[in-house]
Amino acid sequence: MSQRKASGDSGRATIRDVAERAGVSVASVSRVLSGNYPVSETLRRRVMKVVRDLDYVTNAHARSLAGGGTPTVAILLNNITGAAFAHVAKGVESAASMRGWLSLVGTTGDDPERELALVNLMRQQGVAAVVLLGGAYDYDEYQLRMARFARSLDAAGSHLVLVGRPPLEGNVPATTVDYDNEGGAYAMASHLLSAGHRRVLVLPGHAELTTAQGRLSAARRAFEAYGLPFDPGLVLHGPYDYEHGYDAVEESLRRGLDFTAVLAGTDVVAAGAMQALLAAGLKVPEDVSIVGYDDIPLASQLTPQLTTVHVPYEEMGRAALRAVADRREGNTGRRRTGDGEHLVLGTHVVVRQSVQPPGRRS
């Protein structure tokens, strides 16, 4: 009943099955497959034949328990269907697979509890790194939480990478890959101002979101630099989605707000805003100009094509993985740098067709 060696087809062939059938030792099979030890040609052939016959693959769990194993990177994001995050994920995944690494994916749905659970789950998996995507809320709590994650992962031989989030303060073992959020927002606002716009409806995003805060303050600085008054009454906060863009513009028009341009926090928000303007019989950009942020494919698929800020999302993903891989390979001795590095990638304005100098409408 409890025969250990059923030798049957039930379940999965083990290295012992292969060894037995090939009439060699387990060690030899392992060596043939790893290829990191001299093995005679006849033995190799004999083993490989059995491997093919049995359709054998090594058990990755056992392998990584015994020391070997393929490194795995965990990608944690709010929502896979967000274009921006998807591009970062693509960058991470492609860079990972290029090195033979695996990618685990988990979605947090913006739930801190779930985020915690996922980080722990990934720690169990012994991943080489955890890449956390997306903006962050609640700055103080966030700092504590992330610092704990970082130390915890670091102690387990893993590493935390924050992408598109604010870097951690203090001596925390985490890497941050960021883009020049304020620089892009400043350039974008300046672009509108230099086109002659003076009254700009700003839809920066959620007030608690660090990304939104940065974009808003950059816009304000641009107004100051032009010596122009910034009207807080033209700022409407809300989520980064199409509906918010639509609703915000619709409501602004209904309330009779006076503006000649819309500075949207996101391309998707811009798309919603554009739709609302068109629905109200206004033309873009003749009556109202619109700009976005992110430069996702949607931006160039709208009519008119959207002037926006290009963010190198995919490159950020690749950079994130590169940082981890370098750290892991360069770890000769104890070159653990302690506190993490901070990469900042550049952003730039992409001029398309959604901006014109303001017209008659006042």
Binding site for DNA (CB under 7 A): 4, 11-12, 14-16, 23-28, 30-31, 33-34, 36, 38-40, 42-43, 56, 58-59, 62-63, 65-68
The entry of DNA, a second copy, none that residue 271 binds, CB within 5 to 8 Å by partner kind? a second copy
Please provide the DSSP assignment of 136-154 as one string. Answer: ---HHHHHHHHHHHHHHHH
CA 288 to chain centre: 32
* Contact map string, positions 142 to 171, toward a second copy, x by CB under 8 A: ----------x--xxx--------------
Among DNA, a second copy, none, residue 31 binds (CB under 5-8 Å by kind): DNA
Residue list 245-274, contact with a second copy (CB under 8 A): 268, 271-272, 274
Q: Which of residues 28 and 354 has its CB atom nearest to DNA in the complex?
A: 28
Cβ contacts of 128 within 8 Å, gap of 6 or more: 71, 72, 73, 101, 158, 159, 324, 328
105 contact, one of a second copy, DNA, none, CB 5-8 Å limit per kind: a second copy
Give the integer Cα–Cα distance in Å for 133 and 213.
17
Nearest approach, Cβ of residue 72 and a second copy (Å): 8
Q: Report how many residues bind a second copy under the rule CB under 8 A.
A: 57
Q: In sequence order, what are the residues at sequence separation of 6 or more whose Cβ sits closer than 8 angstroms to the Cβ of residue 66?
A: none
Question: In angstroms, rounded to a whole number, what is the distance separating the alpha carbons of residues 240 and 237?
Answer: 9
The b/e string for 199-221 (b: 16+ C-beta within 10 A; e otherwise) is ebbbbbbbeebbbbbbbbebbbb
Whether the link from the prior residue into 304 is cis, omega within 30° of 0, is yes
Tell me 209's DSSP state: -
Cβ(216)–Cβ(203) below 8 Å: no
Q: Which is nearer to a second copy, 7 or 301 (CB)?
A: 301
Per CB under 8 A, 7 contacts a second copy:
no
Minimum distance, C-beta of residue 121 to a second copy, in the bound complex (Å): 7
Which spans of this chain sit near a second copy (rule: CB under 8 A)?
A: 9, 11-12, 55, 57-65, 69-70, 75, 79-81, 83, 86-87, 89-90, 93-94, 97, 102-107, 120-121, 123-126, 152, 155-157, 242, 268, 271-272, 274-275, 278, 297-298, 300-303, 305
